[in-house]
Structure 1
Amino acid sequence: MSAVLARLSAILVAACLLLTGQAGISPDRAAAADPGYLMTHFIGEGATGQQMYFSYSTDGLNWNDLNSGGMTLRSTVGTRGVRDPALVRSPDGNKYWIIATDLCIGCGQSWDDAINNGSRNLVVWESTDLVTWSKPWLLNVAGAIPEGRNAWAPEAIWDSATNSYVLYWATNGSRNGIQKHRIYYSRTTDFRTTTTPQVYIDRPGTQEIIDTQIVEIPSGVGNYRYVRASGDGQITIEGSNSILGTWTSLGNLSGIGLTGSQVEGPMWLKFKNRDEWALYLDQYAAGKGYMPVLTTSPSTPSASGSYRLPAAGTFNLGGTKKRHGSILNLTAAEDARIQARWANVPGKRLQSFNFQDRYVRHSNFDVRIDQNVTNEDAQFRQRPGLAGSGTVSFESVNFPGHYLRHDGVDFQLAHNDGTTAFAGDATFRQVAGLADSAWSSFQSYNHPDRYIRHYAFQLKLEPITTATGRSDATFRLTS
């Protein structure tokens, strides 16, 4: 670039910054003028596939896996597996919840178990920033339903008329002598207590309904304030002006070749820069995960061309299979936090210097060094230190949100509770190896006279005063 062009560019940048300041735009929004979309979903069967995963998109059609494609939350309650998550933001934007089906097919549960004697609970996480999440808890929503046998595919939508959420889900329950899946609802404000469940959607006869998701439509678009898509043999579209009021059937997607025998898990996305929506559908019959269907008129599915399949090559779902979840339109501040927290950092092993066939690993949340361990118990993501810049923390790959933390002189794998004390205990300065400067040692942030070391193959935090101690306190990060 010529000197003149460089000078002009600098002037333009300064002018833009000045205008930004005059407009009163926050630093977060200035840093991320075009925030994207966050999808939370599961990716398949088994103990790791049925956990929480995050993906990110700048345009709502092309998605990238966050956290190097690894899970972002792991259920440690109930069946220890989760599916069908809904990500809920409070009206003031100060709190978030993930609610999910408590289900782990192939982890000691079959589909017959899940249908006829499954968990009556939902799994819930809570956060104030989309970054640090609580430990999960179980919310019993189906225990009071006559012959209620499970609780699947939860969703929630804020009802400003009552200042509460309408929480809705599917349960295989008995009503009028017919046992089948219906949609039930309760009200809640905190996802810890709920009102008595009531029937919300009951299709005629023996027709079941399992998946449904509601989207709020802006004023001036169509004839309804709310539109919902449901899997009930078809992908049925309905409209209403009240969440719990009368819903009118508007049609289905059979006209574009999509029925409930092919797709499930409807998931809405409203594009930020235009009145257009994507209705994502999980291609479960073909085992392909999500695909988008586009529309500028959600309430007219029967109109020719109203719902349409996107052109080939105009969307990409990324490296992992995306299955039944939900999408959140991010603010600039949320976008920045998500990008920083769930950056793609590969999992690595911490290899012992003086026992080079041994690696740091967790087992039942205790931490030690073991021989030749290659599974995810020995893999950690080296994150920016929780307590201060220029430091590091070690997050477990297979228990995200859990970090190596010292407790006195001992170590454990512990859930980040967001406190200052936890941050200090889980933060270290990476320095030249005490036994070999080509390796590394890790000095405690809040006890700088002590280092991570192993002793009798257990991980400890101790002062280092001997040659043996220096060797025990020296490690290498390796794949």
Structure 2
Amino acid sequence: MSRIPVRLGAVIVAACLLFTSWSAVTPRQASALDPIAGYLMAHFTGESSTGQQIYLAQSTDGLRWTDLNNGGLVLRSTVGTRGVRDPALVRSPAGDRYWVIATDLCIGCGQSWSDAQNNGSRHLVVWESTDLVNWSAPWLLNVAGAIPDGRNAWAPEAIWNPDTGDYVLYWATNASLNGVMKHRIYSARTANFRSITTPQLYINRAGTQGIIDTQIVEMPPGVGSYRYVRSSGDGQITLEGSNSILGTWTNLGNLSGIGLNGSQVEGPMWMRFNARNEWALYLDQYASGRGYLPVLTTSPSSPTSFRLPASGSYNMGGTRKRHGSILNLTTAEQSRVLGRWGNNAQVNRIQSYNYQDRYVRHANFDVRIDADVSPPQDAQFRLIPGLTGGAGAVSFQSVNFPDHYLRHYGFDFRLEANDGTTTFAADATYRRVAGLADSSWASFQSFNQPDRYIRHSGYVLRLDPITDVQGRNDATFRVTT
């Protein structure tokens, strides 16, 4: 988010525990399951309705980033304001479940900064996954509705708390307290990001000074004097230390010594480098519009240890990365993520055999074949490994709605968001076979209705048994690039 009213900066950043941090306190550590190999960043890109969605980038060294999904969005919000900012990636301590939590806000989609600050959504948007690539439908989590005079909910973060065996979820809300209206950080406990305990005031700066962006990272034993370090955007980039997430925090200083303050940078985003005790604190240079800058340190609790990066030592990729979150990836996680969204995933069109000027496309989430499709992305798909069905199975992932897939329902076709169920996966999976009308083309047999194939009828896609020449022609397609 960007400076208030231009500031919703909310770094949601990696609040979810830099994997090598909070996971270390559980018996079954995610890090023990598989070697760590790379980094995944979730972020948004700008103020448009498309920019205010979830994007991903990957890095092998933590400093040079590659945009995934060919720079396209990965998750789109279909709830609340239908826009999201400041995503936080959360991994369970066991490494078997993941969440994305984000601010429910879409500036320029019928909502102004004044609206968002004084009468915005009191909800967060949440997605859930068991593998980092197949995500549930999003849901709304009301976090600020119980805060007296709470006006919004911005910049969520979450961290596993070993003292209570659940997550501390924290965010900024603009509210009046003791006659002062400003943004403060509130917190609540949750086990599943579907319900929370009663929100409590978590961080409150003196006087009229507000605070929106804050993020916590856990330190390994032997590094610094504190188990946790907190970085916040509150007029400075302030560092604090504590030995308990919900305990007392000590002010350690700020980054003004290296020439960085809250009028220049915001959205602090922690990242621990794999296999060594060194950290990058990414800061968004919002004042100059230059995006993220990694500030490096071997001792996050010591403000004097931070240093600016050498010229040319980092590259943020092709898209502007706005406040987000970084997760350290295991080898298996990275393989899954790159397999789904790596830039080698080809963009295809599906051409009709008997109407060769027409291509499969979605229109208002219905599916048909049309000529001269506009925008062209409505007729573009990625044929990815099937959501179920094993080797040889495929699913059709939309390019401009990448969390949506071609799915049959009542033998009609829809473009729908993956809800994570086995029923959806089966309905959205097909077996590619030789074309029924021409073996040099292709036909697509349903995974869970194997006597039926994708075909068009009256230009509308259907799932039908194929019994005659007309049906074979209608059920034959060419996959083109």
Q: Which residue of 1 aligns with 2:284?
A: 282
Name the CA shift for 1:170/1:216 in 2 (closer, same or farther; >3 Å). Answer: same
For residues 170 and 29 of structure 1, do their structure 2 counterparts lie closer, same or farther at Cα, with a shift above 3 Å needed?
A: closer
Cα separation, partners in 2 of 1:421 and 1:165, compared to 1, 3 Å:
closer
2-side partners of 1:472 and 1:317: how far apart?
A: 46
Structure 2 distance, partners of 1:426, 1:191, is 27
Q: 1:32 touches 1:336 (CA, 8 Å); kept in 2? A: no
| Unaligned residue ranges in structure 1 (runs of 5+) | 1-27
Please, which runs of 5 or more residues in structure 2 have no aligned partner? 1-29
Q: Cα–Cα, structure 1 residues 440 and 374, in superposed 2: closer, same or farther, change >3 Å?
A: farther
Q: Which deviates more, 449-458 or 229-238?
A: 449-458
Residues 389 and 34 of structure 1: is their aligned pair in 2 closer, same or farther, counting only changes over 3 Å?
same
> For residues 57-456 of structure 1, what are the structure 2 equivalents within 5 Å?
57-301=59-303, 303=304, 306-344=305-343, 345-375=345-375, 376-386=377-387, 387-456=389-458
Asked if 1:39 is matched to 2:38, the reply is no
Q: Supply the AA of the counterpart residue of 2:475.
A: A
Partners of 1:414 and 1:29 in 2: how far apart? 34
Give the distance between the partners of 2:203 and 2:419, measured in 1 at CA: 38
User: 1:134, 1:58 → 2: CA distance?
Assistant: 27
Once residues 422 and 174 of structure 1 are traced to their aligned partners in structure 2, the CA distance between those partners, rounded to angstroms, is 45
Measure, in 1, the Cα distance between the counterparts of 2:198 and 2:204.
17
| 1:246–1:111 CA distance, 2 compared to 1 (3 A) | same
Q: Please list the CA deviations of residues 262-314 of structure 1 after superposition, one character each: whole Å capped at 9, or x if unmatched.
A: 2111100011221110000112222222120000111111x2xx111111121
- When residues 76 and 33 of structure 1 are mapped into structure 2, their CA distance, relative to the original with a 3 A threshold, is same
Please state whether the residue corresponding to 1:423 is helix, strand or coil: helix
The structure with the greater share of residues assigned to helix is: 1
- Tell me the SS of whatever aligns to 2:49: helix
Return closer, same or farther for 1:33/1:183 CA change in 2, 3 Å cut-off: closer
Tell me which structure has the larger Cα radius of gyration: 1
Task: Give yes or no for contact 1:31–1:332 (8 Å, CA) kept in 2.
Answer: no
Shift, 1:399, TM fit: 2.3
For 2:417 and 2:335, the matched residues in 1 are separated by 23
1:53 matched residue in structure 2: 55
Q: Distance in 2 between matches of 1:80 and 1:404?
A: 21
Match status 1:476 vs 2:478? yes
Letter of the 1:331 partner, please give it. Answer: T
Letter in 1 for 2:353: F
* Percent of aligned pairs with the same amino acid: 72
Deviation of the 1:92 alpha carbon: 1.9
Quickly say closer, same or farther: Cα 1:208–1:340, change in 2 above 3 A. Answer: same
Counterpart AA for 1:381: R
State the one-letter code of the partner of 1:120.
Answer: R
Q: CA deviation at 1:320?
A: 1.5
Q: Normalized against structure 2, the TM-score is what?
A: 0.89
1:105: Cα distance to partner? Answer: 0.9
2:334 counterpart letter in structure 1: D
In 2, Cα distance between equivalents of 1:314 and 1:32? 28
Separation (CA, whole Å) in 1 of partners of 2:470 and 2:31 = 52
Matched position secondary structure for 1:286: coil
Cα distance in structure 1, aligned partners of 2:367 and 2:241: 54
Letter in 2 for 1:133: W
Contact 1:226 1:240 in 2 (8 A): yes
TM superposition shift of 1:228: 0.8
C-alpha RMSD over aligned residues: 2.1
Q: Aligned AA for 1:354?
A: N
8 A Cα contact 1:87 1:99, kept in partner? yes
Aligned length: 449
Inter-CA distance 358–280: structure 2 relative to 1 (3 Å threshold): same
Question: For 1:338 and 1:30, how far apart are their aligned partners in 2?
Answer: 19
**CA, structure 1 residues 130+251, in 2 after alignment: closer, same or farther (shift >3 Å)?**
same
Return closer, same or farther for 1:326/1:30 CA change in 2, 3 Å cut-off. closer
Shift of 1:243: 1.2
8 A Cα contact 1:365 1:412, kept in partner = yes
- Cα distance change, pair 474–77 in 1 and its aligned pair in 2 (3 A): same
Q: Is 1:96–1:128's contact at 8 Å kept on the other side of the alignment?
A: yes
Report deviation, 1:59: 1.1
